[in-house]
Structures are given as C-alpha cells and as structure tokens.
Amino acid sequence: MGKASFILSFTHAFVFMVPLILARTIQDEGSTLGANSTRRELHGGCEAFNKIDKCWRCKADWAENRQALADCALGFAKGTTGGKGGEIYEVTDPSDDDAVNPKPGTLRCGVTQDRPLWIIFKKDMVIKLKHELVITSDKTIDGRGACVQIANGAGLTVMKVKNVIIHGIHIHHIKETPGGIIKDSEKHSGPRAKSDGDGICIFGSCKVWVDHCTFDHGADGLVDVTMGGTDVTISNSIFNDHDKVMLLGVGNELEKNMKVTVAYNKFGSGCVQRLPRCRCGLTQVVNNDYNKWQMYAIGGTDKPTILSQGNRFVAPDNKQYKQVTRRAEATEAEWKTWNWKSEHDILLNGAFFIPSGGDVPTTPEMIPVETKIPVEKLTQCAGPLKCSPGKPC
C-alpha cells in the first residue's frame, strides 16, 4: 500500500469511528449524570451543615417520623424530648376565644393537656392569642409542614414545667395583654396578672428547646429565661427588628446555676441589644451570625459566665457601638473578675470583644465549636423551614 493510500484509508477509518466514540462518551456521561441525578433525588437537594440540622433535616420521611426530632436537641437542652411518646394532636382551629374552656382543635386546648402531646398544624394559620398561652410539661409545638404565626396578641409562657420543644413558628408583634382567669393545666384555671409581651417567657422551667423559629416586633423580650430557668437551648432561629431581644436571668438567687446555649442563630440589623444579656449562670454563645446590632451584642450583669465561640460579629457603622460586649451596673474592678471568653470569633467592620476573668470550663453538654464551615452556611437555614411530606426540609 502506498503512503497516500494509507493516509486516505486511515482518515476514512477515523471519520467512521468518531461518531461511535462520541456516542459512547455521551452514553457514559449520561450514565454518570443519571447516577448523580439519582443521588440528588435521594437527598432531595438538601444540605445540612450544623450539628442539629444534620440529625434530621435531610430525611424525606420526617412527616411520618416527626417525633424523631426530639433526638436532635443539643447544648444544655440535650435530652429534651417534648411530647415524644405521646399522641399526635392536630391544631385545626386558629381561634382563641376562651382562655378557660378552649375549644378542641385549638392550640390552647392542646398545650394545657396533662399528658405528653406532639402538637402539629393542619394548615397555615395566624393565631392571635387573647391571653398568654400557658404550656404544660411534655409538649412539642411542631410547625413543620405549615406556615404558623403567633401574632398581634399574647405570647407563650413556659412556667415551672419541664420538657418543652417549640419548633418552626413565627412569633411576632406580641403585645401586652390583660390578665384574668386562664387555663394552665387540664383540670385547672387560675388568675394571672397582665402579661408583659414576651414572645416566649421561660420562667422557672428546665429542659426547653426553641429551634427554627423567627422572632420580631415584641412589646418586651423576644425570648426570656428567668427565675431559675435552666437547661435551655435556643437554636437555628432568626431575630429581627427588636430592642431588648433576649434576657437570661433577672438576678434571682435561683439563677446562679442557670445554663443556656445560644447556637446557630441569625441576629439581624434591626436588633438593638441583649443578644443575649446574661445576669447569672453559664451561657455558651456558639456559631451565631450577628449583623450590625445598634447598641451591643452580648451583655451582662451580676457576674455571669459567658463563652463566645465561633461567632461572626459584624459591627454597626456607628463608631460608638463597635464593642461586642457590655457590662452593666458594675465597676471595672468588679467586671474584670467575670469569666467572659472569646474563642475563634470573627470580628468584622471594627468589632471588638473585651474578655475578662479566667478560662471558662467546658462541659459535656456544650456544642463543639465549628471552625471549618463558615458561620453563614451554619446559619443559612435559620428560621421556620418550608417542609413538604415526602421531601427533606
């Protein structure tokens, strides 16, 4: 075969084989894409980054296994089971017409039962509470699968009880409401004073977990833990447009052993102060995202112990309020003995944290600080989630 003939024959063969090679390549890539597509479908495109969300969020069967959420509490509220093991109670009626004899199907009727209940919602609803909603022990209020708002009326009271989970609720525009005779358990109603307008008041209670809620525009605090309240975790929530956001303790003797975890929350630019303000006990503030508070972020009185870890603090533009921390009602000689420590915090736009005292001892209940994943990712799904049965949240 001559040289020219060989080149011509090779060219013909190559031209013939190109479509086959391309077809095989496309087929192989299609198989790979198909496999990846299947994997994406299996995960539903869900990405969970923080340790609480990884426990449950990417499971498509959440609606059939709602009570598995109770296994996911971390921080000082770890072990809180809420209404796990109890019946499912469905809220079908958003009204709140009678604080003494609430109608079956209302939220008030469910939270005042004297047995464990896992409370869910049949549909989207806005609940305007005429009086504070007093929640009994062993309850979960689970807003997943519906858009549930507690708004334009009274807030929630968790008073001298234990084992309560509040998840997936938007609580906003809470007002002072009059006192009166209010149902506080299945078989008892009693007189209550005027409510101050807290979004959630945790008073003398233990094992309380607030997760994936949104709070804004309250008359008083958005979430307060007082009078011996302890073993509380506030996580994955959004706080916006409010002055005195979160108070932990009022200086009562009962609060010296108070323990609260504040984790994976987003504090918006409309927040003025108390993110949180701690008066006693031990508070772990871990992997939260702070965006331009208006006065200060973390404050304290009465010698609290505060461990700030892995938070992102973006200071306001106002030069007067760049400091993350504020000690109140104490001389410098006094507050220098308070144990306030910052570890792995990110300080931006001129923010600065003034530590004091000695080391803060860690405890097994504390959430390990995440330093490899940006805070923006850890908190990107804060607030109530859009959850549909059969799909990850």
Residues 22-40 have pLDDT tens digits of: 333 333 333 333 333 323 3
Q: Do both 152 and 55 map to the same domain?
A: yes
Q: What is the largest CA-CA distance in the chain?
A: 110
pLDDT of residue 253: 85
- Residue 208 within a domain: yes
Q: Catalytic pick from 57, 66, 274, 326?
A: 274
pLDDT at 44: 58
From residue 150, give the alpha-carbon distance in Å to each of 147, 168, 216, 259, 287.
10, 11, 11, 27, 27
69-81 per-position pLDDT tens digit: 999 999 999 999 9
Identify residue 177 by its one-letter amino acid code.
Answer: T
What is the extent of the structural domain holding 75? Answer: 49-378
107/34 same-domain check: no
- 229 and 359 assigned to the same domain: yes
Highest mean pLDDT: which of 44-48, 280-284, 327-331? Answer: 280-284
Average pLDDT over residues 155-176: 98
Amino acid at 207: K
On whether both 189 and 131 belong to a single domain, the answer is yes
Q: Are residues 213 and 69 in the same domain?
A: yes
Mean pLDDT (the chain) is: 90
pLDDT of 3 over the 90 cut: no
Strand partners for 170:
149, 214
Tell me the three state secondary structure of residue 181: strand
Residue 189 burial class via C-beta count within 10 angstroms: exposed 0-12, middle 13-18, buried 19 and up:
middle
Are residues 36 and 174 part of one domain?
no
385 is a domain residue:
no
Predicted confidence band at 313 (pLDDT cuts at 50, 70, 90)? very high
What distance in Å separates the CA atoms of residue 292 and residue 134, rounded to the nearest whole number?
Answer: 34
65 shares its domain with 82: yes
In a domain, 17, yes or no: yes
**Which CATH number goes with the domain that contains 217?**
2.160.20.10
For the chain, the domain total comes to 2
Place 117 in a pLDDT band, splitting at 50, 70 and 90.
very high
Residue 99 and residue 6 in one domain: no
From 279, 259, 373, select the one nearest 326 (Cα to Cα).
Answer: 279
pTM of this prediction exceeds 0.85: yes
Does residue 193 sit within a domain? yes
Euclidean distance between CA atoms 328 and 331, whole angstroms? 8
Residues 6 or more apart whose CB falls under 8 angstroms from that of 272 comprise 242, 243, 244, 245, 293, 294, 295
Residues 313, 132: Cα–Cα separation, whole Å: 34
Quick check: is 386 in a domain?
no
Residue 3 and residue 133 in one domain: no
Q: Answer yes or no: is 389 within a domain.
A: no
Look at residue 393 and tell me if it is in a domain: no
Residue range 229-284, pLDDT digits in tens: 999 999 999 999 999 999 999 988 889 999 999 999 999 989 999 999 999 999 99
Give CA–CA dist 217/228, Å, rounded: 26
| CA gap 268, 390 in Å, rounded | 32
Q: Do 108 and 25 lie in a common domain? A: no
Do residues 179 and 85 share a domain? yes
* Catalytic residue check, 274: yes
Same domain, 29 and 76: no
